[in-house]
Amino acid sequence: MTRINIEQLRTFLAVVRHGGVRRAAGVLNLTQPAATARIKNLEESLGCALFERRAGGMRLTKRGELLLAHAEKFEHLTELVERDVVDPEGVEGRLRLGVSETIAQCWLPDLVSRLHLLYPRLEIEFNVDISVHLREGLMNREIDLAILLGPVSEHRVNNIELPGFDLAWYAACSRSDDLETLDSKRPVLTYARNTRPFRELKEMLFERVGPDVPLFPSSSLSACFRLVEADLGVAVLPRALGREYIASGRIIEFDPGWVPAPLQFTASYLGEPKSHLIETAAKVALEVATAYVNDRNP
């Protein structure tokens, strides 16, 4: 009697989707020999080769293509069982989160806390990076859920729109009488160079102030606030992050008559393979983000 287990099928699907055993092993949190052994055992159980091993990689055989269709149906059935039957407290596994720094400094701790309450045995791994890198990680299946400046315009990706972040202008307290207009010689501190907020700000400064405004991009928003406090430039940054600095009298907010549009984030994940865990995490992200905004705007 042929015996096939769930983990063998999951490994088979991962190898197909990621193009090889090495990448599949990384996604499944396995060693490469362990992933190879699962594929070998599956082939022995079925009595046929599922892959052609070539110098350029692994390619499905005819039998492998037949198994793929059945494995995807089995995966979907397993997902339905996990959704409808399995107690969340018994769920094990790993969720790989990718988040922008704005999120990391605002409500990421609340999200991780909520997920731990819902899935106590779940291992949560998170990476803080700029949105362009998070998008790349998501599309390469190195990230399960990306909370980034979105949406991701790919047919494979599901996007849940999250509450936006208003931006505001900030300056050192010593500049309180000198901020009616932006000075073309005064540096402007903001998001990293290869981000959407940086590009939009650069275009607006060019139109409203001129082409010679020095821009100091940074991947660290907390560093931007400290540099503003030291009067090394002005900055346009999320108001949610600036409140603490304003309240402590370290910087001031000012209005030059315009401000870039709010930052719009999404919780984005690949629609296939379907995952109740990832979908739930995305919905929890929306709940946490909404609560964060409501708490600060009663």
Highest average pLDDT, of 26-35, 83-92, 231-240, comes from 231-240
Which of left, alpha, beta for 93 (phi over 0: left; psi -120 to 50: alpha)?
A: left
Q: Does 77 score more than 90 pLDDT?
A: no
Q: What per-residue confidence (pLDDT) applies to 197?
A: 92
CA distance 290 to 294: 6
Backbone angles phi, psi at 173, to 5 degrees: -60, -30
Q: What per-residue confidence (pLDDT) applies to 85?
A: 56
Q: Does 295 score more than 90 pLDDT?
A: no
Same domain, 244 and 182: yes
* 202-206: long-range contacts, CB 8 A cutoff, minimum separation 24: 204/258, 204/260
Q: What per-residue confidence (pLDDT) applies to 153?
A: 92
Secondary structure, 3-state, the chain: CCCCCHHHHHHHHHHHHHCCHHHHHHHHCCCHHHHHHHHHHHHHHHCCCCEEEECCEEEECHHHHHHHHHHHHHHHHHHHHHHHCCCHHHCCEEEEEEECHHHHHHCHHHHHHHHHHHCCCEEEEEEECCHHHHHHHHHCCCCCEEEEECCCCCCCEEEEECCCECEEEEEEHHHCCCCCCCCCCCCEEECCCCCHHHHHHHHHHHHHCCCCCCEEECCCHHHHHHHHHCCCCEEEEEHHHHHHHHHCCCEEEECCCCCCCCECEEEEEECCCCCHHHHHHHHHHHHHHHHHHHHHCC
Same domain, 270 and 281: yes
Our count of domains for the chain comes to 3
Q: Does 229 score more than 90 pLDDT?
A: yes
In the structure, what pLDDT confidence band is assigned to residue 84 with cuts at 50, 70 and 90? low
In the structure, what pLDDT confidence band is assigned to residue 256 with cuts at 50, 70 and 90? confident
As a whole number, the mean pLDDT across the chain is: 87
pTM, 2 dp: 0.73
Range in 40-44, 50-54, 197-201, 287-291 with the lowest mean pLDDT: 50-54
Q: What per-residue confidence (pLDDT) applies to 132?
A: 92
Same domain, 122 and 60: no
Mean of pLDDT values over 7-18 = 88
Final residue before a domain boundary, out of 35, 61, 84: 84
Q: What is the pLDDT of residues 104-152, one digit of tens each?
A: 999 999 999 999 898 888 889 989 999 999 999 999 888 999 999 989 9
Over the Cα atoms of the chain, what is R_g? 24
User: Which domain CATH number covers 100?
Assistant: 3.40.190.10
In the structure, what pLDDT confidence band is assigned to residue 267 with cuts at 50, 70 and 90? very high
200 belongs to a structural domain: yes
Mean of pLDDT values over 66-91 = 72
Higher pLDDT, 286 or 178: 286
Final residue before a domain boundary, out of 84, 116, 150: 84
Same domain, 159 and 199: no
Neighbours of 2 (CB within 10 A): 7
Q: Which domain covers residue 71, as residue numbers?
A: 6-84
Residue 113 CA from chain centroid, whole number: 17
Same domain, 36 and 67: yes
Range in 84-93, 146-155, 165-174, 230-239 with the lowest mean pLDDT: 84-93
Q: What per-residue confidence (pLDDT) applies to 113?
A: 94
64 belongs to a structural domain: yes
Q: What per-residue confidence (pLDDT) applies to 273?
A: 76
Mean of pLDDT values over 42-55 = 87
Q: Judge contact between 157 and 269, C-beta under 8 A.
A: yes
190 belongs to a structural domain: yes
Mean of pLDDT values over 49-75 = 86
Neighbours of 98 (CB within 10 A): 25
Higher pLDDT, 45 or 82: 45
Q: What per-residue confidence (pLDDT) applies to 53?
A: 81
Same domain, 126 and 268: yes
**Tokens at 102, concatenated:** 């704005």
